[in-house]
Structure 1
Amino acid sequence: MPSPVGLLQTKATMNLHDLLEHHGLGANPFADEDAQTDPVFQGRCRSSVFHPNWDKIYGDPSSPATSIVFGEKGAGKTAMRLQIANQLHEHNQRDSDSKVFVIEYDDFNPFLDRFADRLSSRKRRSPDKVLAEWKLWDHMDSILSLGVTDVVDQVLGVRRNGNGSNGNGEQVNKLPSDAAKRLDRFQKRDLLLLSACYDNSLTETFQSRWYRLRKRLRYYPWQSWFIRGIGVAVKSAVIGTILYTKNYSWLATVWPWLIIALGWAPWMAQVWRWWMQARGVSKHLRAINRDSHPLRQVLMQFSGRDINGQPLPNKYRTDDRYELLYKFQGVLQALGYAGVVVLVDRVDEPHLTGGALPKMKAFVWPLLDNKFLKQPGFGLKLLLPAELSEYALNEDRDFFQRARLDKQNMVPSLEWTGQSLYDLANARVAACGTENQQPRLQMLFDDTIDERRLIDAFATLRVPRHLFKFLYRLLVAHCQSHVDTDPVWEVPLSTFETQLAIYQRDQKTLDATLAG
C-alpha cells in the first residue's frame, strides 16, 4: 500500500513555476499590477511599450507643453508618468543643450497637511472646506518648493529627496558640478531668494542650510553688513570715548544712548521692514512652513540694491508666484535646463480627497488655468481619474474660457483596444524570456484559442490592470486543474472561457459596490 505522503505527492497540482519554465519564462509576466513596483515594467517594457496616445501626451521635450489625460484606475497613468520621466532622462543624456528639469508633483499630503493647519479649527474639521480654500497659488508654491529644494540639494551636494527620478533609481535632474560658478550675481540672488521662501529640507534647519548655500554661491551682501557696521562703530565710539575720558557721569544723561540709537537706526529700520515682509510671507505661504523670525534674519542678509523691488509670496495672488517661477526658470536656464515639466499624478490618493470626485475636483480645478498651463518652456502632464472628465465637460462657459482645454492636448479617455492590450501582454511575455528563449503569449494557450479570440476577450477587460489580474488568475486556475504527474502545458478553451466569465462577474460586482 502506498504511503500517505506518496498519495499526496501524486495528487499535487501543477506548479505555476514549472508551467512558466516550460514556455521559456524566467518570471511571471502578470504577477505585479503597480508600475512602481513591477520589475517587468521597469525592465524592457518601460522603454519599448507605449500607449497609442503616447506621442500626443509626451510631446516634444525641446519645447515642453501641457497635456491633460483622463484615465480609469488601472489604465496605466502611473506607468505613463514613469515612462515620461524615463524618456526625459534619456533626452537629457542625449541633448545637453535642451535639457528638461522634471518635477514630480504626486505626493500631496505634506502640502495639504501644512495648508490645513493654517486654517481655523472650524474649517479644518471639514475636508470640503479645506479644499475649497486651496487656490492656484498654493499649487504654485508646492511646485516651486519641490523644484527649489531639488536644486539646493544638488548645489550643496546633499542626499537627494527623490524628486525627478525616472523610476529606476536614476535621477533625471542632474546639475553640472560647477553649478555655483555658472550663476551671475543676480541669479545667485534669485536662487537665494527662492531658497528663503521655498527650500523645504527635512534634514537640516532652514537657517543653517540657507547660510551654507550663500557660502557655496559666494554671495556677500556688503551693503547689509555696512549698515550693521555703522551701529557697531557708533556704539564702540561712544563706549571708547567714555572710557578714554573717564567721564562715567555721562552715562546718566540721555546723550550717549541717543547717539547709539541713531547709529543703530538704519539697522532697526531694516529689522522692522523685513519683519513685516517676513510676517506677510509666513502668513500667505500656506503650503510651506516658514517662521517669521528666521525668515526675517535671512531676508536681512540681502543687499538693499539686490532685494528692493523683488517679488515675495506675501499676498493671496498669483502675480508674485509667476515672477518667482520665471526667476526659477532663469536659474535653471543658466544651469543648462531649457524647460520644466511637472508630472501630476495620484490626485485620488491624498487623505483629504479620499477618492471622492467633488473633493478631487476642488483640488485639481485651480490648476486648469490657461495662463499657468501655457507658460513658455513650461509643461504640465496632468494624469487624472477618468470620472473627472465628465465634470470638465459639464462646466460652464467661464471655466472653458479660463482653462482653454482645447489648447491643452487633452486625452478624454486613456482607452486600450483589444489589439493594444494583446501587444502589451505579448511584450511582457517576451520581456520575461530566459536566455536564448523568445516566448510568445500564444504559446500559453492551445490551438482552439486563436489570436482573434484573445483580442476580443482582452477588449472586454479595458485596461492593463484587469488584463494582468485575469491572466494571472487564469494561469493559477489552469495549474490547479491538473496534477504535476500529468501536466497540461497549454490553457484549454473551456478553462479560458470559464475564468473570463467568472472574472467579469466579480468585476461587475466590485464596480457596483464601489459605485454604491
Structure 2
Amino acid sequence: MRIQQFLEHHGLSQNPFSQEDAQSDPLFKRFCAQATFHPAWDKICGNPGEPSTAVVFGEKGSGKTALRLQVVDQISEHNVGHPNERVFVVEYDDFNPFLDNFRQHVAPHSSRPERALSQWKLWDHMDAILSLATTRLVDDVLEESHTSKPGAFEIHADRLASLSRSQKRDLLLLAAFFDKARSTHPATRWNALRRKLRFANFVSWWELGLGALATLVLFGVLAQNGSLNQFGRPWPWLVLLVAWGPWLIKQTKLLWLAWRVCRQVRVLNHPLIALKQVLAGFESKDLVAQPVPAKDRSDDRYEFLSKLQSVLRTLGFTGMVVIVDRVDEPHLINGNAERMRDLMWPMFDNKFLKHSGLGFKLLLPVEISHFLSRENPEFYERSRLDKQNMIRSLEWTGESLYDLANDRIKACTNGSTNPPKLLDWFDSSVTEAELVSTLSQMRVPRHLFKFLHQLLVEHCNRFTDGNPQWKIDRSTLHAALAVYRQNLKAYDLGMGPG
C-alpha cells in the first residue's frame, strides 16, 4: 500500500509530515507561516511596529528557524501596511564568515577554538551586525526602487534624495568600515554609492592636484628655459617635496588609520590598501570628530549604530530588528555548548539589548540555558534577563502538537470546507486523549513530523494496494511509538540522528 494512496483517500494532496526543516519546507512557507504559531508567539514577536527584545531557548527541532521566518513575515506584512513606519530586519544567522575572520585575527595558528572564542567581545557582535545591516542597505541603495509604492524592505528614490549631507557622509562612513560585499573592488563599490548619493568630494583631491600642478609647472618652466639639468641640483626636489608634502602626509595618516581599523575590526577581512583608497575619498573635514572602529571598546560602535538608525529613519524605517539563529551550526562551534556560551554571552548586555529603536530576537539552543544558573550576580546585573522577555524552554505540549498536526493536514486539503483531522486516520480504538498523550512524548515539531511519517510507513507496509486499510489501529501506533522512543533515547544521548 502506498502512502500517497492513503493520503488521497483522506483528501490530502501531499504528505504533511515529509519535511522536517522550516527553511526548506514549502508547506510551511505557503500555508502554515501565517496561520500556525507557537503558544508563546505573542511574547516572542511583540508588536512589529515597536521592536522589542526576546530571548528564547529551545532544543533542536523546536521551531526556532520557523519563528525566525515568521518574524520576518510579520514585519514584512507590517511594512507593506505602514510604508512610513517600516522596520529594518537583520538576520544574524550565518556566523561562519565572521568567526573565520575573527580566528584569523586572534589565533591564526591555534587548533583550539576555545582560545579564539575566549577573546570574543560585545563589539565583535556589533561589528558583525553593522556589517550585515550596512551591506544590505548599500545593496538596496544601489538598486533603489522607482515604483510609486516601495516594497516591504525596498529603498525608494524619493527617500534617498531626502538624506542630508551629514547623513550621506554617515552612510559612506558605514560603507567604508563595514560593507563586506566583495563582488567588486571596495573602492569601486564605494564610489558607486557616493555617486548614487550625489555626494561631492572634489576637495579631497586638492593635495594630489597641488602636487601634480607644481610638478607640471616646475617641469614646464625648466624645459622652456632649457634648464632641465637643474634636476641635478637639490632645490627642484625640495620644491617638489614641499608641493607633494600635504598629499604624502595625508596618505600616511590614512594608511595608519586603515591599519588600525583592519587590526581592530576582527570579524571582517579588510584589504588595507583598498580601505585607504576609500578613506582618501573623504574630505578632511568629513573625518574630523567622527567615530572610528579602531579601539577595544563599544562606544564607537554605538555611535555608528545611531548613525545607521538616523539614515534608516529618513529612508522610512523607524525601527530595526536583529534576529539571531543557528548559533550551534558554525564549524568553529560544532554544537559545543561551552563554545556557544562564549560566543553569545557577550551579547547579554542590557544597554545593547535595550538600545532605543532596536529589538533583538535571540533564538538560542537550550543547551546553553543551563549555564545561566552558574553565573554570578554581576552577569545578571549587566544582562537584566528579567527585562528581556526570556523563554527558558520553547516547549510544546501534546495538545499544541496535535493542533500543529491538524493545521498541516488542513493545509494539504486544498481549501476543503471540512478538512480531516489527525484522529480521522485512526480507528475507533484510538481516542483523542490517547493520541494527544502519545504526541506529547515527541516534545518538538521535528520529532512529531518524523514519528507521524514513520507511522504512515509502518501502516502502509502492513497492507497491499489490492487490500488497503484506511485506518491505523492501536497496535500499529504502539509499535511505531516503541521504535521511535528508542530512536529518541539514542538521540538524547548523542548516539543517533533521532
Q: Map Cα deviations across residues 290-331 of structure 1 (whole Å, 9 max, x no partner).
A: 122221121111111111111111112111111111111111
- Name the counterpart of 2:112: 126
Instruction: Compare 212-221 and 337-346 and name the one that shifted more.
Output: 212-221
Give the match for residue 497 of structure 1: 478
Q: Distance in 1 between matches of 2:229 and 2:483?
A: 101
Is structure 2 residue 274 aligned with structure 1 residue 290? no
Instruction: Tell me if the contact between 2:80 and 2:151 (Cα under 8 Å) persists in the aligned partners.
Output: no
TM-superposed CA distance for 1:57, in Å, is 0.6
Contact 1:429 1:441 in 2 (8 A): yes
Aligned to 2:260: 280
Whether 1:365 aligns to 2:351 is no
1:60-459 counterparts in 2 under 5 A? 60-122=47-109, 124-157=110-143, 173-434=153-414, 436=416, 438-459=419-440
Q: 1:171 to 1:363 in 2, by over 3 A?
A: farther
Q: What is aligned with 2:32?
A: 45
- Confirm or deny: 8 A CA contact 2:259 2:272 kept in the other structure: yes
Whichever residue aligns with residue 23 of structure 1, its letter is H
Residue 192 of structure 1 deviates from its aligned partner by: 0.9
For residues 103 and 418 of structure 1, what CA distance do their matches in structure 2 show? Answer: 33
Aligned partners of 1:86 and 1:172 also within 8 Å:
no
Number of aligned residue pairs: 491
Deviation at 1:179, TM superposition (A): 4.8
Distance 1:149 1:39, change over 3 A: same
CA distance in 2, matches of 1:469, 1:120: 41
Query: 1:249 offset after TM fit, Å?
Result: 3.9
Aligned amino acid, residue 481 of structure 2: L
What CA deviation, in whole Å up to 9, does each residue of 1:334-360 have, x standing for no partner? 111111111100111111111111111
2:488 to 507, 513, 516: 507
CA distance in 1, matches of 2:340, 2:251: 42
Q: CA–CA distance in 2 between the matches of 1:239 and 1:183?
A: 45
Q: Which amino acid aligns with 2:459?
A: H
**Paired letter, 2:66:** A
Q: Are the equivalent residues in 1 in contact too, given 2:107–2:116 (CA < 8 A)?
A: no
Report the CA distance between 1:435 and its aligned residue: 5.5
How far did residue 362 of structure 1 move?
A: 0.6
Instruction: Please state whether the residue corresponding to 1:343 is helix, strand or coil.
Output: strand
Structure 2, unmatched stretches of 5+, are 145-149
Query: Does the CA-based 8 Å contact 2:87-2:318 persist in structure 1?
Result: yes
Q: Which residue of 1 aligns with 2:459?
A: 478
Shift of 1:128: 0.7
- C-alpha distance in 2, partners of 1:195/1:361? 30
Structure-1 separation of matches of 2:424 and 2:413: 12
Residue 147 (structure 2) aligns with? none
Unaligned runs of 5+ in 1: 1-13, 159-169
Contact between 2:124 and 2:267, CA under 8 Å: does it hold in 1? yes
Shift of residue 442 of structure 1?
Answer: 1.9
Contact map agreement 1:228 1:264 (CA 8 A) in 2: yes
CA contact (8 A) 2:160 2:197 kept: yes
The percent of aligned pairs where both chains have the same amino acid is: 46
Letter in 1 for 2:446: R
Which AA in structure 1 matches 2:277? Answer: Q
Note the C-alpha offset of 1:332.
0.9
Superposition TM-score, scaled by structure 1 size:
0.92
- Residue of structure 1 in register with 2:8 after alignment: 21
Tell me the amino acid that sits aligned with residue 271 of structure 2. Answer: D
TM-score (norm 2): 0.95
Q: 1:436 to 1:399 in 2, by over 3 A?
A: closer
Structure 2 CA distance for aligned equivalents of residues 202 and 480 of structure 1:
53
**CA–CA distance in structure 2, aligned partners of residues 120 and 475 of structure 1:** 51
Partners of 2:24 and 2:341 in 1: CA distance:
28
Q: What is the CA-CA distance between 1:420 and the residue it aligns to?
A: 0.9
**2 CA distance for matches of 1:420 and 1:506?**
22
Aligned residue type for 2:118: A
**Letter in structure 2 aligned against 1:346:** R
Q: In structure 2, do the counterparts of structure 1 residues 396 and 221 end up closer, same or farther at CA, with 3 Å as the change threshold?
A: same
Where 1:338 maps in the other structure, the secondary structure is strand
Query: Over the residues paired in the alignment, what is the CA RMSD in angstroms?
Result: 1.8
Q: Does the 8 A contact of 1:102 with 1:172 survive in 2?
A: no
Deviation by residue 1:399-437 (Cα, 9 ceiling, x = unmatched): 111111011110111011111111100000000003646
Counterpart CA distance in 2 for 1:434 and 1:56 is 31
CA displacement at 1:228 relative to structure 2: 2.4
What is the one-letter code of the residue matched to 2:11? G
Q: Greater shift after overlay, 224-233 or 280-289? A: 224-233
Structure 2 CA distance for aligned equivalents of residues 514 and 505 of structure 1: 11
Q: Deviations over 1:202-221 (max 9, x none)?
A: 32121211111112111111
- Residue identity matched to 2:249: A
Query: How far apart are 1:252 and its partner, in Å?
Result: 2.6
**1:87-133 CA-partner distances (Å, limit 9, x unpaired):** 111111011122111111111111111111123444x3111101112
- For residue 102 of structure 1, give the secondary structure of its aligned residue in structure 2: strand
Matched, 1:461 2:447: no
Whole-Å separation in 2 of the counterparts to 1:491 and 1:120: 58
For 2:128 and 2:152, locate their aligned partners in 1 and report how far apart those are by CA, in whole Å: 19
AA of the residue aligned to 1:73? K
Deviation (angstroms), 1:480: 0.9
Equivalent residue letter for 2:120: W
Q: Secondary structure at the match of 2:132?
A: helix
Q: Is the 8 A contact 1:67 1:408 kept in 2?
A: yes
TM-aligned CA deviation for residue 502 of structure 1: 2.1
- The amino acid across from 1:217 in the alignment is L
Give deviations 1:462-498, integer Å, cap 9, x for gaps: 1111111111111111111112222110111221122
CA distance in 2, matches of 1:513, 1:188: 52
Note if contact 2:135-2:175 (Cα within 8 Å) is conserved in structure 1: yes
